[in-house]
Amino acid sequence: MQRILFLIILAALFLPITTTATSVTEETEKPDEKVSIIIEVEGDPTKHKEYLEAYYPYVDVVATYDKLFNGIALQGDPGDLARMDSLDFIKAIHPITKYEAIYQTPDATETTNSVIPASINNTKYRGEGVKVGIIDTGVDYNHPDLATNYVDGYDLVDLDDDPMETTRSQGMPTLHGTHVAGIIAADGKIKGVAPDADIYAYRALGPGGMGTSVQVIAALEQAVEDDMDVINLSLGNSVNGPDYPTSIAVNRAVELGVAVVIANGNSGPNNWTVGSPATAKGALSVGASTMPQKIPYLYDQLEDVAIGLTTMLGSPAWNLEKDYPIVVGTDRLDDARGKIVLVQRGKIPFYEKAKKAEDAGAVAVLIYNNKDGYFQGSVENGQGPLTIPVAAIPKEAGEWIIEQSKEEKLYLETIFKKTTEGIAGFSSRGPVTVNWDIKPDVIAPGANILSTVPGGYKELQGTSMAAPHVTGAIALLKEAHPDWSVEKIIGALKTAAQPIEKEQGNYYEPIVQGMGQIQPKQAVNTDTIIYEPLLSFGKIDDYKETNKIALTIENTTNHEQSYSFEIPKKEKGLSWNLPQTFTLEKNEKKTIPVELSVVTQQIKKGIHEGWLTLKQDKEVFHLPYLFVSKQADNPKAMGFQFSLKPFSKDTYLYQLYLTEKVKRVEVNLYNPDTLLYERKFLEIEDPKVGMNEGNMKKKDIGKPGNYKALITLELENGTYESYESEIHIE
């Protein structure tokens, strides 16, 4: 495998994540330590490589890149590398931005059952022969549920062939990549969505989930080089723009024929929270849904008390069909037969407590906490699985049972409460600024997902858990239809997705769920494929404007099929021009015009979204649409970064992303404690839409310290908007 070390424009995050405070400091290297950089170059990187090897022999050329951008990876002493900044073919030496990986553990007060990834695979396929690249914190390839499917990988943190998760001896240990890998392709006690898929691991984030854009984009390039069929990136940042460099890199990978699945972000429930690279037009961006749950409770009819049960990992499902007496556990458990045994959490392992009760003839075991609140536990054990259910309950519930049992024998029945399918509150929402695309594209289960972690199993949640469900589904489609293009596979998955309702007859908004919940079996067997079915008509500023989208539809059957649009209800200011009926011959692909006319004076400013309905016989397809009238409440500025230029002692670099044209940008610094004004820090005249970058000299940045940065924009209409950030100057 080609060795890669890679420094590039991108500021990529691991989802779910938050950025650290921006700093002008840079880690200094020891004089005798080699460091690595990427120089972005003009022209042919191979020719420049030859030049460097001839005239700079003290610098090692590690690799050249020409797939996602033109660049050369170098290793050498900091002083030697710094001299290369003057070469005229060097376009840029990009700074490194650091991020921290943060994932969520489900709230133990929510007594939901675990979601097993394999539950969404209702097909006969298992992803056999499909190559899946997982760019993450590494993978515990020794885990018994993953070892069979793990094929290869690369560590872009330590630059070796061992993409193992960070262990405790190396720093703060990680587990996220192993969890993602299990969702996709675990094949053991836990089954992934595609348990026969081939796992390739690319460790891009190191101890504590910390990493840089260097490793993330290096991993993406390496995965493309290794001919992955699909790449899973639980990556993103706070910049909601389609042309941020991360998004551009993803689009290039997709153009090269690789499906790229990206978590939408964990910054919901507000709009405009999807971040790059999930904003990439070519990415299959994924939001998180909550699955319907059948949650067991123990119920006392006389007292009208219901106790929620958290079934332990490794336990059979709690499916008791009648009421049973409760017995408080003792050392001997002479009276346990045919009863539910209650024991307290303590030093003895849960398995041993439950096994003792099982041997005594108990029908189930309750373990109540020894401190306030709910808890999660496991009865996994190599000695053999239990045959009776084991559940955790709060301390107060256990004490209530004990108190009731003192008066008379207590009988409790099992009841079940059903939850409905929904959207996870943390799931980031669209749309994307600048081009106003609808994101996410689809949703998948992302809450309470049980999967592999180093040394065992764990529930995690986030759009990082939703994305690998979709990656696994793509593996199923790839096995079922090996001759289909990536475009066709993605089209089928989107077409078959089903939007979910927040109430009867009322769907969640398109910017919340895209096409809706993925349905792998329907996608595999679909008779129709709608390419790019999420319809964005853009921003409409004129008094009256008509926008047209060319919608491509394919009939995948060997017989003629007829289609018809439902004409939307009339709304003031909106007029649709749709082909009410049309026919596709067998295996025919046809482009259909979808036209929307808007009179802006007759509608409200802001986001307008909804659904168009296309019918084919008994099949109904719901196509989300969106347009923005005049202006929206989107953030105008984001992604403010400030750092020392690589290998420089007195020059600093700033970055600020703008989502629309503004007259002027001014950054002022305030005392973070007193909020008193300190000084003007930066002014950008005539800034551009997209990334604004520049240099600042050390003498111009002022005294060191922690500051609140107030970023003020003068908009084109003469009004002002402000945003806060933080910087630390050392």
User: What is the DSSP track for 128-188?
Assistant: TT-EEEEEES---TTSTTTTTTEEEEEETTTTBS--PPPPGGGSS---HHHHHHHHHH-BS
Active site residue 469: no
Distance of CA 350 to the CA centre of its chain: 33
Cα–Cα distance, 165 to 453 (Å, whole number)? 10
Which of these is catalytic: 48, 94, 143, 176?
176
Cα separation values, 219 from 228, 291, 346, 347, 618, Å: 12, 32, 44, 43, 44
What are the Cα distances from residue 201, in Å, to 97, 436, 686? 23, 33, 44
How far apart, in whole angstroms, are the C-alpha atoms of residue 561 and residue 73?
53
- Fold classification of 528-629 is Immunoglobulin-like (2.60.40)
Residue 464 annotated among the catalytic residues of the structure: yes
Domain 637-729, architecture per CATH: Sandwich (2.60)
pLDDT score recorded for residue 29 = 40
Helices (H) and strands (E) in the chain, counts: 11, 46
Q: Is the sign of the CA dihedral 91, 97, 101, 102 positive or negative? A: negative
Nearest to 253 by CA among 202, 186, 182: 202
Task: List the structure tokens of 312.
Answer: 């332990």
Q: Name the 3-class secondary structure at 621.
A: strand
Catalytic residue among 276, 285, 427, 464: 464
Same fold, 528-629 and 637-729: yes
Between CA 474 and CA 489 the distance in angstroms is 7
The DSSP letter of residue 544 is: E
Q: Which has the closest alpha carbon to 121: 499, 524, 412? A: 524
Query: E strand or H helix at 19, and its extent?
Result: strand 17-19
Quick one: CA torsion of 575, 581, 585, 591, rounded to 10 degrees? 0
CB pairs under 8 A, 24+ apart, for 480-484? 480/123, 480/125, 480/524, 481/524
**CATH of the domain spanning 101-292+422-521:** 3.40.50.200
Cα 547 vs. chain centroid, distance in angstroms?
32
Residue 297: count of CB within 10 angstroms of its CB = 17
User: Given this model, what pLDDT does residue 141 score?
Assistant: 98
The DSSP bridge partners found for residue 305 are 300
Instruction: Find out whether the peptide bond into 440 is cis, omega within 30 degrees of 0.
Output: yes
Can 451 be counted among the known catalytic residues? no
pTM of the model: 0.82
Q: Which two tokens stand for residue 643?
A: 């750092």
What's the pLDDT score for residue 23? 33
Q: What is the DSSP letter of 630?
A: S
Is there a contact between 640 and 684 (Cβ–Cβ < 8 Å)? no
Out of 94, 136, 213, 276, pick the active-site residue. Answer: 136
CA–CA gap between residue 104 and residue 285 (Å, rounded): 19
Distance CA 602, CA 432 (A): 25
Average pLDDT by stretches of 10, the chain with 730 residues: 32 29 35 65 90 89 79 80 79 54 56 82 97 96 97 88 93 93 96 98 86 75 95 84 80 94 91 90 95 87 88 85 87 85 91 92 94 77 84 92 88 88 92 94 94 92 95 98 97 98 89 98 98 96 93 97 93 92 97 95 93 95 95 88 78 88 94 91 92 88 91 91 87
Question: Token match 């075991």: residue?
Answer: 365
- Where are the chain's structural domains? 101-292+422-521, 294-418, 528-629, 637-729
Name which of 377, 354, 366, 375 is nearest 327 in CA terms. 366
Cis peptide before 269 (omega within 30 of 0): yes
Question: Which has the closest alpha carbon to 183: 173, 193, 168?
Answer: 193
Q: Which CATH number is 294-418 given?
A: 3.50.30.30
Residue 307, beta-bridge partner list: 298
Spatial distance between the Cα atoms of 288 and 638, rounded to a whole number of angstroms: 24
Check residue 454 and report its DSSP letter: T
CA–CA dist 240, 274 (Å, integer): 6
